[in-house]
Amino acid sequence: MTEISEQPKSVTGNGQTSDGGNKKQNCRKNSRDRMEERVGFDLMMKRLADIGVNRFGSERIQAVEAFLEEVAVYTGADHISVFEFLNSEFYERIYEYRVSADETFALSGGMLARKGLEAWNEAFDAGETIVAESETDPWIQGLPASYQEMAGGEIRTLIAFPFQHNNSLMGFFSIENADIKMAKNFLSVIPVIGAYLGSVRTNYQKENTIRQHVAILNQNRLELDRERQFLSVLCRDYTSVYYADLASDSFEALKIDQGANAAEFKELTQERKTLCYSKMIRQYGENYVVKSQSEMFLNLMSLENLSRELAHKERIMFHYQSVPNKMGQRYFEIQVIRICESRFDHKVLVGFRHVDDLVAREQRQRQELERALEDTKRSNEVLSALGKIYYAIFRIDLEQDTYEEISSNRKVHHLTGTSGRASTEMIELCNHFVVPDYRDQIMHFFDLSTLADRLEQEETIATEYLATDGNWHTARFIVKRRNNQGRVTHILYVTRLISDTKRREQNWIAIAEEANKANEAKTEFISQVAHDIRTPMNAIVGFTEITEKHVDDPDQVRYGLEKIRVAGAFLQELVDDVLDISRIENGQMKIQPEEFSITEMMEEFKPAFEHAQIGKNLKFCYDIHDIRHDWIIADPLRLKQILTNILSNSVKYTPDGGTVGCEIYEEAVGTAGNIGLTAVIWDTGIGMSKEYMEKMYSKFTRETDTRINKVSGYGLGLSIVKELTDLMHGQIEVESEQGKGTTFRLHFEFPYAEPKREDHDRDEDADKSSLCEGMHLLVAEDNELNFEVAKELLEMKKITCERAENGAVCVEKFEENPERYDAILMDMQMPVMNGIEAAMAIRRLSVTKAHTIPILAMTANAFQEDVQRCLNAGMNAHLSKPIDMKKLIAELAKLKTSACYIRIGEVLS
């Protein structure tokens, strides 16, 4: 054995550290022993070095096995284990070498708890080697049973040392039953071995990790290539595919076929270029989608619609037609699919796929289906028509004298059954269903033995009879089949009720008579309205000429203007009533309840009394009393309209010197929270006949009386009163006698409300007018006279305006200088472009103000459908002609205030 000048620091059996290196070894060996020892040591170190070579798998295991074998040979040990530091609680045995009859090496598993090895752990953490030279050594005596079981035998001596890297414990070697004296050279290099094994283990772990990452990367690359192949196959049917981010309004092209229409856009063909989604979609929709579907396409593909739909859907799919591309394809399917399945993050794939072949196949199938359906429909129509017309249908074989029931009512079916002997059943039918007076006639008709002769030159014969149930019937034989000689062999027997037909004929006659009466009434109404229109129009034209000739006479001018105003008011009343009756007939008249004061409403109603007596010498009585709940919830406009219409009639039909009265009072009702409101309007006029009172609420009717022919009217006032009263769940009672007068009593039940205190200090109309001063309006009006009237009225309110002769000019002027105008007044009926089209065109402009500028319809089209059309076109409000400046100023003030709030909100956001 070679002389060792120094030994490593070690922990001896008594737990004390000794310096074996300071003791001189005086033993001598011959050169041969020293040579064998050196050869064994060098081989062991070579095996150790082999472990550090880049080896993996079985090569690495073989290198470890060779090293452990050399260690066992060199130290004389019979068992060696390698433990790896697993965590703060356990070591894991990763290698085991056992010397026995057949030397074995194993990748040995097993967990060794750190608990019970506290002294070992401290020594290992300090980088120290444990050496126990006998079984009585405390290092061996203190071993836990789990370690001894893993050693698998008696432990006489023990060498244990850590392997570390960068002062970090990675595990330890344990060598049992070694020849300690023989292993002293080995002990001297233990620190080198430990450090080397720690480094090798660290490198191995890193290399293993790298190899794993490389393997994962290679696997990912293969999967990516395969996914790309799959994607290529999936995209093969698509002419173009895009990746879009709806949140940022951006997209990029993933695939575009050269023959696609989208390939015409050079921006799209630039590789991986991010573009504006909205801009490109609009350009594509306007240039390549057929005009009839362009708006639909843009609406469906808009950011707003896609975000709304995909928030709760995985995909959107629809078809559209484009102009033919280079391949001649014109029908396409779009699929917009969410990329994230679990949540909508606004990232989508958009694919365009041509479906011309599918559309062609569908069209062929549709045509075939339509033809089949048409054939079936015709057959069903025949059967259905026969089934509706005939309550009993039988198929009869004249040669075999048999019948088969096709359809019948319950009584016939119960009598005849579904099949049987035909001649016998015909007799039974005659005896059971035909009244005696007709039986001989019908028995001759039912005689099947002569039927073929009777049908020789005919395809059908029929007769009528009175049945025992009191109804008239038609019995008919129809040829179904003839033999080669042309003789009838099969027939259909059908029976039809004709009583309903006769009753329907009578009903149609009655309906026609009613329709004629209604048409006569409407014709008379149109004639009366035309007369009533001509009367004030004659007055307007006449007094206009008179006034022009007396422009220097102020009194005459004022008199003429007043007459013109009265005539105009009558025309306005006529138009309003026609509109009201139209709304009522269409079900568009709605009651709009609100809280208001009864006394204040009647104070506003008083001027109607005063105005009504203009030109007449009448006495008026007005009384409102017993109002305990002044504030109620009802529709004040319609309530005043009811009272005004009745009052107007009273004034019209009361001669000079007569009296007209109005009384309003409150009555108690049984419903909590409600009051009864009664209105009585009476007069001492000419009264009504009993015949007229029976139809007084009918539309377009007036009393036929020479006393009232000179009174203007058109027969709608009382009809409107009755309809409005019914809408408000009220009752109306009338008492009248010719020559003595008429009394109307109206009873309503309304909820009452708490009184409100109104602030009258502020003049709201003045505030609204001042708010609108300085505004500049664009007025779309094709009639120059109407524009001059509007201009003068607006300038009186310190509002300026300019004219657009039609809708197209209006759009052009606004687009040229949108900031010039504060609002737009839009007529509906204009040449070149009407008001609806102009409003829609303005709202579609790209300038910001096009979406916020107020647009008010100022038109003679005043029906409810006209109002709705204006609002649907993007207008803010609807005002009917003639211009009511108070309403116009109120709308302008409201819209101006709203627009200010919008702008403030935009700035703050």
Residues 6+ apart with CB under 8 A from 207: 54, 56
Looking at the structure, do residues 538 and 609 belong to the same domain, yes or no? no
513-535 confidence digits (pLDDT tens): 777 766 766 666 665 566 556 55
Residues 637/600, Cβ–Cβ less than 8 Å: no
Give pLDDT, residue 453. 92
Identify whether residues 14 and 151 lie together within a single domain.
yes
Instruction: Look at residues 135, 158, 188 and tell me which one is the last residue of a structural domain.
Output: 188
163-179 confidence digits (pLDDT tens)? 888 888 889 999 999 98
Tell me which of 163, 188, 213 is where a domain ends: 188
Average pLDDT of the segment spanning 843-858: 92
**564 within some domain:** no
Q: Is residue 44 part of a domain?
A: yes
Could you read off the pLDDT of 13-31 as tens digits, one per residue?
A: 434 443 433 333 333 334 4
| Average pLDDT taken over every residue of the chain | 80
Tens digit of pLDDT for each residue in 486-521? Answer: 899 999 888 888 777 656 765 777 777 777 766 766
Both 146 and 291 in a single domain? no
Q: Is the predicted pLDDT of residue 907 greater than 50, yes or no?
A: no
Co-location of 601 and 711 in the same domain = yes
Q: Tell me which of 132, 161, 188 is where a domain ends.
A: 188
CATH code assigned at 777? 3.40.50.2300
The DSSP annotation for 481-533 comes to EE-TTS-EEEEEEEEEE-HHHHHHHHHHHHHHHHHHHHHHHHHHHHHHHHHHH
Question: Does residue 385 carry a pLDDT above 70?
Answer: no
Amino acid at site 243: Y
Tell whether 577 is covered by a domain. no
- Mean pLDDT is lowest, of 116-120, 143-147, 347-351, 883-887, for 883-887
**Residue 76 and residue 104 in one domain:** yes
- Domain containing 699 — which CATH number? 3.30.565.10
Question: Do the bridges between strand 238-245 and strand 347-354 make them parallel or antiparallel, or are there none, so unpaired?
Answer: antiparallel
Q: Got the DSSP string for 39-94?
A: HHHHHHHHHHHHHHSS--THHHHHHHHHHHHHHHHHHT-SEEEEEEE-SSSEEEEE
Q: Are residues 37 and 138 in the same domain?
A: yes
Q: Report the distance separating Cα 534 and Cα 854, nearest Å.
A: 37
| 180 shares a domain with 93 | yes
* 413 and 480 together in one domain: yes
Query: Of 822, 858, 819, which is closest to residue 838 (Cα–Cα)?
Result: 858
pTM, rounded to two decimals: 0.36
Q: Is residue 825 located within the same domain as residue 777?
A: yes
Q: Is residue 444 part of a domain?
A: yes
Which two three-digit tokens encode residue 679? 């209105």
Q: Which segment of 29-38, 164-173, 216-225, 471-480 scores lowest on mean pLDDT?
A: 29-38
> Are residue 257 and residue 348 in the same domain, yes or no?
yes
* Residue-number span of the structural domain to which 668 is assigned: 590-751
In a domain, 575, yes or no: no
Look at phi and psi of residue 626 and say left if phi exceeds 0, alpha if psi is from -120 to 50, else beta: left
Which domain CATH number covers 243? 3.30.450
Task: Judge whether 898 lies within some domain.
Answer: yes
Query: Do 147 and 284 belong to one domain?
Result: no
Relative to beta strand 419-421, strand 460-466 is: unpaired
How many CA atoms lie within 13 Å of 868's alpha carbon, on the beta-carbon side?
4
Q: pLDDT class for 410, splitting at 50, 70, 90?
A: low
Determine, yes or no, domain membership for 257: yes
The confidence band for 43, taking pLDDT boundaries of 50, 70 and 90, is confident
pLDDT confidence tier of residue 99, bands split at 50, 70 and 90: confident
Q: How many domains does the chain have?
A: 6
Q: Are residues 478 and 615 in the same domain?
A: no
